Amino acid sequence: MTISKNQTQLDFSDIQGYIVRGYNMDFARHFVLQVQDAKAAKKFIGNLVNGNQSIPQITTAALWDVKPSYCLNIGFTFEGLKSLQFGNVDQSFSDKHYLSFKKGANHPEIASKLGDVGESSPENWKGGLGTSNTHILLSLYAQDSEVLEKQSDQLRILFQEEQALKELSCLDGAKLPDEQGKPSDIIHFGYNDGISQPKIEGVPSKAGLPSSLDPQPAIPAYDFILLDEPKAPYYVPTPDKLGLNGSFAAFRVMEQDVAGFEKFLQEQKDKIEPEKLAAKMCGRWRNGVPLVLSPDADQLSPPEKPITYEQFNNFNYLQEDPKGYKCPIGSHIRRTNPRDANIKGVTKIHRLLRRGMPYGPAYNPNCPNDGYERGLLGLFICVSLDRQFEFVMEEWVNKGKFATLPDNAQDPLLGVNDSNQSQFDIPVSPDQPSIKLTSFERFVKTKGGAYCFLPSITALQYIASN
């Protein structure tokens, strides 16, 4: 990897691993923890970064020669940092860019921005999320269930030492099987997920993800990692040993109404074929092929063999589909990453890193209303929760004006849609009217959330020793 003179040399051994890489493991468990004893909790944190390989250690972004059997990362809410009783946490996060973090995901103002209203409001969240008792989110990823349980057992012993931490809940995710029964990147709605991720300056890319063919510009590292950079639109939280090389994440528990979604697709078949409608709502066919590159079939021409995701990001909107005849302007991926499309706003300053894992059993179309909850456990990583995560959710997902759409035209998959005003327009051609779909319900509801600070290894050592 070559670092240009305009890029910062990143200290990957000091940065938590999930900030810059997806681990591609089959299982995940997120522990929601409350600090009960500050001194004992700091001892617990110190144990995770003391190099003692007999107990679980925090995974850094340093490249590995052999993929580990598990990875472990940690985030703190603002209330969690205060509960640890070190330094002046209010002063550390006094910059205006950290106001949302200090308020927290369960604050009424923040919840309104994100569309966490009604059934999705914080008072209805599960597992202790939505309360001031949510202090720590400890995320464990494992290659198999045996490793997951073994490391979980060790962590739970550490939680209990000197009554350091109370486990409010644990939220489990696992990859869904593909048609051959092998773990896949498919989510409950049937789409291949995680195909498009930002390219970060100074971060070597894993083959295919993010794609070297993706025409979008690389994003400065300071938009995802807290760095002392003159161009960064923030002040690093103080002292430097707390703030530098850290990041932030919005954690979301998103229930997916798969039965309702599939029912809606079938109800529109007199207007548009169900699989094509699913592609139009997302912007990609369910196997990940983008509509811009293949608007009429779920394969590239000529077919790509073997299928890789690299070519699936080799497109833009401005020249290839400015009016949305291939990929509707209001589709999910065109909203959450408008690329070079003509919109109000600058796409590259609102990018997010996504780390997601399905939870709940696979959907069985022969038993659609089985009573099981299923959805996605997601981390949306950035340095500015308001400028990046909240902006995308408020302006791009839950409004339409940014792209000259009606303001009640929200993201058809992720938006806070209401049957009384929901609308999704599918342009067909210059000489044909659009297909207009209305009266559909919200397909994704929020079951939990938290705003977390993701400290560096240096910061974790600092917290533990103060």
Which DSSP string do the residues of 248-310 spell out, in sequence order? EEEEEEEEE-HHHHHHHHHHTTTTS-HHHHHHHHHSB-TTS-BTTT-SSSSS-SSPPSS--SS
Give the side-chain half-sphere CA count within 13 A for 113: 19
Instruction: Give 339's pLDDT tier (boundaries 50, 70, 90).
Output: very high
pLDDT, tens only, 3-17: 444 556 899 999 999
pLDDT at 294 over 70: yes
d(CA 412, CA 398): 9
Which of 74, 116, 73, 28 lies closest to 389 in space, CA to CA?
Answer: 116
d(CA 278, CA 441): 15
Instruction: Give 305's pLDDT tier (boundaries 50, 70, 90).
Output: low
Residues in CB range of 295: below 8 A, 6 or more apart:
325, 326, 327
Q: Which residue has the tokens 């994100």?
A: 114
d(CA 216, CA 218): 7
pLDDT, tens only, 160-196: 999 999 999 999 999 999 999 999 999 999 999 989 9
Which DSSP string do the residues of 32-51 spell out, in sequence order? EEEES-HHHHHHHHHHTTS-
Instruction: Give 400's pLDDT tier (boundaries 50, 70, 90).
Output: confident
pLDDT, tens only, 420-429: 999 999 999 9
Q: What is the DSSP letter of 100?
A: H
Residues in CB range of 178: below 8 A, 6 or more apart:
184, 186
Q: Which residue has the tokens 């997902």?
A: 397
Which DSSP string do the residues of 190-202 spell out, in sequence order? S-B-------BTT
What's the confidence (pLDDT) of residue 207?
41
d(CA 276, CA 281): 9
For residue 19, which amino acid is it? I
Q: Residue ranges of the alpha helices (H) in 48-186?
A: 78-83, 89-92, 99-103, 108-114, 145-160
pLDDT, tens only, 101-133: 999 999 999 999 999 999 999 999 999 999 999
Instruction: Give 83's pLDDT tier (boundaries 50, 70, 90).
Output: very high
What's the confidence (pLDDT) of residue 211?
57
d(CA 125, CA 240): 34
Which of 368, 371, 388, 372 lies closest to 380 in space, CA to CA?
Answer: 388
d(CA 101, CA 307): 40
Q: What is the DSSP letter of 460?
A: H
- Rounded percentage of the chain residues whose pLDDT exceeds 90: 89
d(CA 95, CA 75): 19
Q: Are 63 and 206 in contact (CB under 8 A)?
A: no
User: To 10 degrees, the CA torsion angle through 196, 306, 296, 421?
Assistant: -30
d(CA 183, CA 358): 11
d(CA 452, CA 388): 14
End-to-end CA separation in angstroms for the chain: 37
Q: Can you give the C-alpha Rg of the chain in angstroms? A: 22
pTM here?
0.95
d(CA 397, CA 115): 9
pLDDT, tens only, 241-254: 999 999 999 999 99
